[in-house]
């Protein structure tokens, strides 16, 4: 009886022990799973933190260029041709600036005699000539003498003294001439120099201008350019293809409901016009206002949501996304996560191959066999990239940050391949980014604008200067002629704006505006 009791107790204890062991094993497995999950999360946080550190270090200490180097890409040759004239090649010789006016100087010997016997030298025929290029900038006063006349007749038609008319002035009763205001506008908006440095430079040349005079003069001049800016916008809206971009721009005014002074400088560029807009917002409403009335076209841009919203609201507008931005995603991935840098740089090489294939296509004549073959090769490369991208997104073993880049490329794929079917569309948005350089230089040098009027003037002048440079016009020549026309029209914009729009000029007028002699334009106008 006792043996049975103890056997029952033993079985009960054994069963209880087994249950405890099972619970213990389950608890150990749960703890291990939690630890692995926690370690994975911590490792992901560490990878992200290290990626951010590498990204910040690159932004702070590395070069700003995104050009590949041999250590990053295997597609580049081991040795690259250096820039500039190559050693051993025949040069073109010194350039003689024959278009410049000449000032002749004669240099003679102070002691024209033999140092040994003292007999005088006899001058030999001809001279040894040399040329030195100089520049002379000076301020001067135009003292204008208006001649007076008295009638000699007795008919009484003219009574009193008749005086010659006053010369036209850009600003009524202003003491600064057109050449001064031309230099002011060019110096600030074409060359990016702050106003206080310009005033110091003018003072060093003997011309003193008060800061208030400068600000007031620019405020007076600004409305003169409004008709030209309107003409640029109207021309922009008639074209079928544009580049667009935006960057921050400070405007130091307080706006009700807006925190801070961050505004935005937008650029919209077509084949014949570059137009800038300053706005306190980065919303799609800015794009809507710029393309008001436009029903269809293609915009090359980045992946900012404002462009996407504008395209959704305007079905006739198609977005062509920038491959340079997509390439930048892979470069950032390679920099942030070294473990997948080789994989990311392979995609960088493939994007570089797209650029190469597109250049080969554009070099071939339209409808030629070479063009057809280049088109087929480009389409095949694009299809292969799409297939590989889809495989990478579907593969659950793909490194998460890499999968995120591929997912973004998949989302924007329709916009990325617009250039394939439309050869006139650029593969990237570099044109707009290059057009932003002048405002960015201005932003760095004079920090933006001090008022809304100043910001509007900046956008207008950037638009005018960028458009005139696009047409190859000399900015000083064009601006001098335009301001003189405003002065001649009684301090108002000229009645004939078409004479100053490049796409409406004839060949002779274009040639005059491309020359660097503004006085000749004034003499013949």
Sequential DSSP letters for 31-70: HHHHHHHHHHHHHHHHHHHHHHHHHHHHHHHS-S-----T
- CA distance between the termini of the chain: 134
Q: How many contiguous H segments (helices) and E segments (strands) does the chain have?
A: 19, 7
Q: Which of 471, 478, 469, 473 is nearest to 503 (CA)?
A: 471
Residues with Cβ within 8 Å of residue 306, at least 6 apart in sequence = 282, 283, 284, 286, 287
Sequential DSSP letters for 10-29: HHHHHHHHHHHHHHHHHHHH
* pLDDT reported for residue 519: 60
* pLDDT reported for residue 100: 81
* pLDDT reported for residue 518: 65
- Cα Rg, the chain, nearest whole Å: 36
User: What is the rounded distance in angstroms from the CA atom of residue 222 to the CA atom of residue 401?
Assistant: 50
Cα 376 to chain center, whole Å? 33
pLDDT tens, residue order, the chain (525 aa): 667 666 777 777 777 776 777 777 777 778 787 777 777 777 777 777 776 676 666 665 666 655 555 444 444 344 467 777 788 787 777 777 777 888 898 888 888 888 888 888 888 888 888 888 888 888 889 999 999 988 888 887 887 888 988 889 999 989 999 999 999 999 999 999 999 999 999 999 999 999 999 999 999 999 999 999 999 999 999 999 999 999 999 999 998 888 999 999 999 999 999 999 999 999 999 999 999 999 999 999 999 999 999 999 999 999 999 999 999 999 999 998 988 999 999 999 999 999 999 999 999 999 999 999 999 999 999 999 999 999 999 998 899 999 999 999 999 999 999 999 999 999 999 999 999 999 999 999 999 999 999 999 999 999 999 999 999 999 999 999 999 999 999 999 999 999 999 999 999 999 999 987 666 555 555
Query: Is 335 within 8 Å of 327 (Cβ atoms)?
Result: no
User: What is the rounded distance in angstroms from the CA atom of residue 337 to the CA atom of residue 27?
Assistant: 35
Three-state DSSP class for residue 467:
helix
Q: Which helix (H) or strand (E) holds 234?
A: helix 226-237
Query: Is 487 within 8 Å of 481 (Cβ atoms)?
Result: no
Query: Is 497 within 8 Å of 481 (Cβ atoms)?
Result: no
* pLDDT reported for residue 436: 96
Q: What pTM was estimated for this model as a whole?
A: 0.82
Query: Is 466 within 8 Å of 460 (Cβ atoms)?
Result: no
Q: Which of 80, 167, 177, 94 is nearest to 130 (CA)?
A: 94
Helix orientation angle between 195-204 and 178-185, rounded to the nearest 10 degrees: 140
Query: Is 189 within 8 Å of 463 (Cβ atoms)?
Result: no
User: What is the rounded distance in angstroms from the CA atom of residue 435 to the CA atom of residue 440?
Assistant: 9
- 324, two tokens: 């340079």
């Amino acid at each position: 009886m006792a043996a049975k009791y103890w056997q029952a107790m033993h079985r009960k204890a054994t069963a209880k022990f087994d249950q405890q062991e099972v619970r213990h094993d389950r608890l150990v497995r749960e703890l291990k799973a939690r630890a692995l999950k926690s370690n994975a999360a911590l490792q992901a946080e560490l990878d992200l933190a290290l990626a951010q550190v590498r990204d910040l270090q690159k932004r702070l200490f590395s070069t700003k260029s995104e050009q590949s180097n041999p250590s990053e890409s295997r597609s580049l040759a081991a040795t690259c041709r250096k820039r500039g004239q190559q050693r051993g090649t025949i040069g073109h010789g010194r350039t003689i600036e024959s278009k410049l006016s000449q000032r002749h100087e004669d240099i003679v010997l102070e002691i024209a005699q033999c140092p040994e016997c003292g007999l005088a030298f006899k001058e030999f025929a001809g001279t040894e000539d040399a040329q030195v290029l100089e520049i002379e900038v000076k301020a001067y006063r135009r003292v204008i003498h208006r001649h007076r006349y008295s009638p000699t007749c007795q008919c009484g038609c003219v009574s009193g003294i008749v005086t010659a008319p006053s010369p036209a002035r850009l600003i009524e009763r202003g003491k600064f001439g057109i050449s001064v205001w031309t230099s002011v506008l060019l110096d600030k908006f074409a060359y990016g120099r702050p106003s206080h440095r310009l005033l110091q430079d003018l003072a060093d040349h003997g011309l003193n201008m008060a800061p208030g005079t400068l600000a007031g003069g620019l405020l007076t001049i600004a409305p003169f350019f409004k008709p030209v800016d309107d003409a640029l916008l109207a021309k922009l809206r008639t074209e079928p293809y544009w580049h667009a971009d935006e960057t921050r721009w400070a405007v130091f005014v307080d706006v009700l409901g807006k925190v801070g002074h961050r505004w935005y400088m937008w650029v919209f560029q077509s084949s014949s016009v570059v137009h800038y807009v300053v706005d306190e917002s980065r919303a799609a409403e800015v794009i809507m206002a710029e393309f008001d009335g436009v029903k269809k076209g293609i915009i090359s841009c980045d992946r900012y949501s404002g462009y996407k919203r504008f395209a959704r609201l305007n079905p006739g507008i198609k977005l062509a996304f920038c491959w340079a931005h997509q390439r930048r995603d892979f470069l950032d991935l390679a920099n942030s996560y070294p473990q997948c840098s080789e994989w990311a740089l392979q995609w960088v090489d493939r994007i570089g191959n797209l650029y190469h294939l597109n250049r080969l296509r554009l070099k071939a004549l339209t409808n030629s066999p070479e063009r057809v073959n280049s088109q087929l090769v480009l389409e095949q490369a694009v299809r292969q990239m799409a297939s590989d991208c889809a495989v990478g997104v579907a593969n659950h073993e793909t490194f998460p940050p890499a999968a995120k880049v591929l997912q973004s490329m998949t989302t924007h794929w329709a916009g990325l391949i617009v250039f394939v079917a439309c050869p006139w569309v650029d593969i990237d948005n570099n044109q707009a980014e290059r057009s932003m350089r002048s405002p960015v230089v201005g932003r760095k040098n004079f920090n933006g604008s001090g008022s809304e009027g100043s910001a509007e003037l900046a956008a207008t002048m950037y638009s005018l200067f960028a458009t005139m440079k696009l047409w190859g016009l000399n900015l000083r020549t064009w601006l001098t002629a335009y301001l003189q026309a405003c002065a001649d029209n009684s301090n108002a914009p000229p009645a004939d704006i078409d004479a100053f729009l490049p796409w409406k000029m004839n060949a002779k007028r274009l040639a005059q505006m491309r020359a660097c002699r503004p006085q000749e334009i004034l003499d013949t106008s």
